[in-house]
Amino acid sequence: MRKSLSILIIAALLAAAPLCAMQAASSNGVRYKWVDGKGQLHFSDSLSPDALKYGYDVVNDQGLVVSHVQRQLSSEERAAAQKQAALQAAAQRAAQDRARADEQMLSTYPDEAAYKAALQQTLANMDQQIHTSKLNLRSQEQALTELLGRGAEFEHNKQPLPKFLQDGIAKQRGVVSELQAVLQRQLAQREQATQAQVQQLAHYRALQAAQNQP
């Protein structure tokens, strides 16, 4: 019985030791505490280099934490933190922009038929541009054919090709090549727009479904 009582007294003393140390530290004016790289707790009434390195707590006279100060960051860590903060801010702005765009879209197109008509109008405008480019290309190709025909006459008559005709043919070939490139870009953009509209329509339907939920 006496042995058990002794064990209980020792356990109680051990349990109370940290609290006593805390109270003693508080009575001695301890204002800061921190944990070092080895996990050991430290108390001080002034900030040491280790406290700044690992971060510290500001405590009151009762030993209660008033505030926590994060450890000092290296220049590389600060740069990384600033970059991460900038990325997060950009992502947040993008999300806000998407939300505003979605809200405006639902307001502008209250039903799917109106939205589909707008999408189709976009393709119709692109088709008109493609048609115009094809007409221009056809006209310039015809002009190039005529110049080449004139050049063929000189060759048939075994006459040298005049410089003005050489320059004209070269210039016209450049015009035709540029128009062909423009037409190819327009056709590619039209195809991309068609594929994008599939996703846009699905997004619109999802927004409508979410809006119509009770």
pLDDT string in tens for the chain (214-residue length): 444 444 444 344 334 433 343 344 344 455 888 888 888 888 888 878 888 888 888 888 777 888 888 877 778 877 887 888 888 888 999 999 999 999 999 999 999 999 999 999 999 999 999 999 999 999 999 999 999 999 999 999 999 999 999 999 999 999 999 999 999 999 999 999 999 999 999 999 999 999 888 7
| pTM of the full structure | 0.58
* C-alpha to C-alpha distance for 63 and 138, rounded to whole angstroms: 88
- Convert the chain into a string of H (helix), E (strand) and C (coil): CHHHHHHHHHHHHHHHHHHHHHHHHHHCCCCEEEECCCCCEEEECCCCHHHHHHCEEEECCCCCEEEEECCCCCHHHHHHHHHHHHHHHHHHHHHHHHHHHHHHHHHHCCCHHHHHHHHHHHHHHHHHHHHHHHHHHHHHHHHHHHHHHHHHHHHHCCCCCCHHHHHHHHHHHHHHHHHHHHHHHHHHHHHHHHHHHHHHHHHHHHHHHHHHCC
